[in-house]
Chain A
Amino acid sequence: MSAVTIATEQATDATSAPTTGTTDAPEAADSRVLDQLDVLEAEAIQIIREVVGELERPALLFSGGKDSVVMLHLATKAFWPAPIPFPVLHVDTGHNFPEVLDYRDETVERLGLRLEVAKVQDYLDDGRLRERADGLRNALQTQPLLDAINEHRFDGVFGGGRRDEEKARAKERIVSLRDEFGQWDPKNQRPELWNLYNPRHRPGEHVRAFPISNWTEVDVWRYIEREDIPLAPLYYAHEREVFQRDGMWLAVGPYSEPREEETVETRLVRYRTVGDMSCTGAVESPARTNAEIVLEVSASTLTERGATRADDRISEAAMEDRKKEGYF
């Protein structure tokens, strides 16, 4: 068991800890019932603490997207009043929405985190990677991610992946082993028993940990609403210049320019997921508040990836193939 950096020094006064915040009224003895969000929150905090307790050098993959922001919020609670005891890692494809990068930097500043950035552009510039014919960079993230894990000797990487997102992710363990090449072997996963998590691994291997595995998209939004977690503005309805491609509204920008036959329109849209500008579609929506989004998502007849991700439409197994190679 590794030493926990926040608990290594000499003891001082154990009794004088002041507290902030409110004191909740004790519940009646027969009403010890946790709300679904409380159950999910408690499970996620337990997983985050267990991985930190067992491993030497964890990190959290932080994209600025809603799931990774929820992860940071949970980590804040897990270690309060100590700071989050690990850095955050962002794989920058170079195709990010500028407002998401701004949000990423503000959040890192607000929570006093250390940010490591691995840039796909660096790999393209020196020839280690080449642009794909379709210009999409999502699948190019894997090598910079794995190199960053090796370079920083991270032995565990937290991700905000959820099992309800995609059918290959539905097969994923909460704590999931990756071999020295970062590969996921879905046919040979460890049994995951009770709530006893086992992140042990051999040198060169690492684990990915998904504390919000059991959350659905609606759970995430209800939690964001309940906890009043600030998000990047593009999750909320706004006017944007967009054009239609493959049944999705893509934003007009430096990485997603309309072709000749594609017409640019101004629409009231928001984003359900945040990935690259070049492959993440906006949805038409008037939802400007978390409460409105909870209602909208509850009533949606499309999955978030089905509605918004070009890269997952390539084949039935696009996500599985990326995951096997080391992607999240």
Chain B
Amino acid sequence: MGAHTGTLLRLATAGSVDDGKSTLVGRLLHDTKSVLSDQLAAVERVSRDRGLTAADLALLTDGLRAEREQGITIDVAYRYFATANRSFVLADCPGHVQYTRNTVTGGSTADVVVLLVDARKGVLEQTRRHLAVTALLRVPHVIVAVNKIDLVDFSQEVFERVNAEVQAVARELGVEEATAIPVSALDGDNIAERSSRTPWYAGPSLLELLESLPTSDDPTREAFRLPVQLVIRPQGAAREKAHRDYRGYAGHVASGVVRIGDEVVVLPSGRRSTVTGIDLGERTLEEAFAPQSVTLRLADEIDISRGDIIAAAADAPEPTQDISAVVCWLGDAPLRPGQRLLFKHGSRTVQTAVRTLDGVLDLDDLHSVTAEALSLNDIGLVTLRLASPVPVENYSTSRRGGSFLLIDAHDGRTVAAGMVGATLPTAADAPTQPEGDEEWDI
């Protein structure tokens, strides 16, 4: 998660079927000169074979044979492009089968989600679902690309109607800010450069906005946490004799800053010590901060093993065995109360039992309803009992300390993405029913 770095921005694109998402991604790559001539030649060759007059830029991201054959995107594809100011890692998330799985996968690490809406169709159920997932994941920025604006004659009125609809849904879902841009991915209007065909639009192009997004979600501003991945004790195997007594705790700084001399606490044991060294390879650092991977040395010889979290002594989470969380269910078989699973948080995996299913998000009117089970792609509220205490945090204060996986112990599959302490909107704050989609069909 690199927004605060200013140098590497992770973005995810999401949208419904046929709203031109792959075309938009292809256009972004093309207009940032990230498509090299052999890639373009291959796209032109395939386009020609299909009888198209212009290169179909969607072919740039549809990397699988089945995707090219069916003209759809099946799985998340990662693409890379750069401008003079920033480098981008782009997760292109398909909009149909497995859409929640794909959107959660792309959105969980994203600094910004670019959500496509077809100007002719306005907000669809999938738009609501994508916005709901984006809000739940607390993706720092949301950009709504109102696409195919060329097909509504570059109409300001249509754009503003769609934008109002998007803003209403975003507000109801708790998305803090969703910036809408009128674009034509096919022709490139307002993608890299501002279009002369939307003179009424005074905002930035998509690329300008991506380049200039303010720093946000800076994990170095949160309290220090380092999940211990490995204990490094070379002993006789040390590459140099001087390191035979070395003992360090290797992990990535999930949040915050740590300095030599800082007092830390090891969780869940609660034992305290002081940082005496911070190593990154053979370099010694005075301080380390998120998202660096380092090795810490401590003043005291205490029991620390993989799965523990080293945290700032003054501001440490309380380990707990009882958790309320929102989960995006990604398993083929439904989730029912009483089920046993594995819970992975940081570098620790413990057993868990699902105590109760406390609601499922109804995506039509965006509030929680009761349910017997969670099906694939459902978003639900659950109460979990953990086999041993884990120092989880509230997802609303820490994306890193509040996220977890649920894993099927039998086959190892990841079956849910979880957010500790998150809640679903209840009927009391349910929004008014959105207006029908057909009204926007032109």
Q: Across the interface, do A198 and B405 meet the contact criterion of CB distance under 8 Å?
A: yes
Q: Across the interface, do A171 and B36 meet the contact criterion of CB distance under 8 Å?
A: no
User: Is residue B5 within 8 Å, beta carbon to beta carbon, of the partner chain?
Assistant: yes
User: Is residue A261 within 8 Å, beta carbon to beta carbon, of the partner chain?
Assistant: no
User: Is residue B407 within 8 Å, beta carbon to beta carbon, of the partner chain?
Assistant: yes
Per-residue interface assignment for chain A, residues 1 to 41, with 1 indicating a CB less than 8 Å from any chain B CB and 0 otherwise:
10010110101111111111111111100001111101111
Q: Across the interface, do B277 and A19 meet the contact criterion of CB distance under 8 Å?
A: yes
Q: Across the interface, do B405 and A193 meet the contact criterion of CB distance under 8 Å?
A: yes
User: Is residue B148 within 8 Å, beta carbon to beta carbon, of the partner chain?
Assistant: no
CB of A204 to closest CB in B, whole Å: 12
Q: How far is the CA of A129 from the CA of B287 in the complex (A)?
A: 55
Q: Tell me the dominant secondary structure on chain B's binding face.
A: mixed
Q: Across the interface, do A198 and B247 meet the contact criterion of CB distance under 8 Å?
A: no
Given A14-B247, A317-B65, are A191 and B330 also a contact pair (CB < 8 Å)?
yes
Q: How far is the CA of A36 from the CA of B417 in the complex (A)?
A: 27
Given A36-B7, A191-B417, are A45 and B75 also a contact pair (CB < 8 Å)?
no
Q: Across the interface, do B293 and A200 meet the contact criterion of CB distance under 8 Å?
A: no
Q: How far is the CA of A23 from the CA of B286 in the complex (A)?
A: 7
Q: Across the interface, do A17 and B297 meet the contact criterion of CB distance under 8 Å?
A: yes
- The interface residues of chain B lying within 8 Å CB-to-CB of A317 are 64-65
Given A38-B292, A39-B2, A50-B229, are A191 and B414 also a contact pair (CB < 8 Å)?
yes
User: Is residue B153 within 8 Å, beta carbon to beta carbon, of the partner chain?
Assistant: no
Q: How far is the CA of A112 from the CA of B286 in the complex (A)?
A: 30
CB of A226 to closest CB in B, whole Å: 13
Among the 9-residue stretches B173-181, B231-239, B310-318, the one with 4 or more Cβ atoms under 8 Å from chain A is B231-239
User: Is residue B96 within 8 Å, beta carbon to beta carbon, of the partner chain?
Assistant: no
Q: Across the interface, do B229 and A17 meet the contact criterion of CB distance under 8 Å?
A: no
User: Is residue B427 within 8 Å, beta carbon to beta carbon, of the partner chain?
Assistant: no
Q: Across the interface, do A24 and B291 meet the contact criterion of CB distance under 8 Å?
A: no
- The interface residues of chain A lying within 8 Å CB-to-CB of B108 are 193-194
CB of A238 to closest CB in B, whole Å: 24
User: Is residue B79 within 8 Å, beta carbon to beta carbon, of the partner chain?
Assistant: yes
Q: Across the interface, do B232 and A79 meet the contact criterion of CB distance under 8 Å?
A: yes
Per-residue interface assignment for chain A, residues 182 to 226, with 1 indicating a CB less than 8 Å from any chain B CB and 0 otherwise:
000011011111111010111001000000011010000000000
* Contact of A36 (CB < 8 Å), options: B5, B36, B105, B404: B5
Q: How many residues of A contact B (CB 8 A)?
A: 85
Per-residue interface assignment for chain A, residues 223 to 250, with 1 indicating a CB less than 8 Å from any chain B CB and 0 otherwise:
0000000000000000000000000000
- The interface residues of chain B lying within 8 Å CB-to-CB of A325 are none
Among the 9-residue stretches A93-101, A133-141, A161-169, the one with 4 or more Cβ atoms under 8 Å from chain B is A161-169
User: Is residue A307 within 8 Å, beta carbon to beta carbon, of the partner chain?
Assistant: yes
CB of A298 to closest CB in B, whole Å: 9
- The interface residues of chain B lying within 8 Å CB-to-CB of A167 are 60-63, 77
User: Is residue B306 within 8 Å, beta carbon to beta carbon, of the partner chain?
Assistant: yes
CB of A305 to closest CB in B, whole Å: 8
- The interface residues of chain A lying within 8 Å CB-to-CB of B161 are none
CB of A275 to closest CB in B, whole Å: 17
Q: Across the interface, do A12 and B245 meet the contact criterion of CB distance under 8 Å?
A: yes
- The interface residues of chain B lying within 8 Å CB-to-CB of A201 are 412
CB of A235 to closest CB in B, whole Å: 20
Among the 9-residue stretches A80-88, A119-127, A265-273, A283-291, the one with 4 or more Cβ atoms under 8 Å from chain B is A80-88
* Contact of A81 (CB < 8 Å), options: B4, B240, B257, B280: B240
Q: Across the interface, do A80 and B403 meet the contact criterion of CB distance under 8 Å?
A: no
Q: How far is the CA of A244 from the CA of B75 in the complex (A)?
A: 38
User: Is residue A76 within 8 Å, beta carbon to beta carbon, of the partner chain?
Assistant: yes
CB of B60 to closest CB in A, whole Å: 8
- The interface residues of chain B lying within 8 Å CB-to-CB of A50 are 229, 347
- The interface residues of chain A lying within 8 Å CB-to-CB of B39 are 303, 306
Chain A: CB-nearest residue to B404: A196
Q: Across the interface, do A300 and B104 meet the contact criterion of CB distance under 8 Å?
A: no
Q: Across the interface, do A14 and B7 meet the contact criterion of CB distance under 8 Å?
A: no
Q: How far is the CA of A23 from the CA of B260 in the complex (A)?
A: 12
Q: List 14 A-B contacts (CB under 8 A).
A: A4-B231, A7-B231, A13-B245, A21-B283, A34-B2, A34-B5, A77-B280, A83-B239, A167-B62, A167-B77, A177-B412, A194-B399, A196-B405, A214-B89
Q: Interface of A with B (CB < 8 Å)?
A: 1, 4, 6-7, 9, 11-27, 32-36, 38-43, 45-46, 49-50, 52-53, 76-83, 112, 163-164, 166-171, 177, 186-187, 189-196, 198, 200-202, 205, 213-214, 216, 300-303, 306-307, 316-317, 320-321
The 9 closest A-B pairs by CB, nearest first: A306-B38, A167-B63, A200-B412, A77-B281, A82-B234, A7-B231, A81-B243, A45-B293, A26-B286
Besides A13-B247, A14-B247, A18-B243, 8 other CB < 8 A contacts? A38-B292, A50-B347, A80-B239, A163-B80, A164-B80, A187-B74, A191-B330, A193-B108
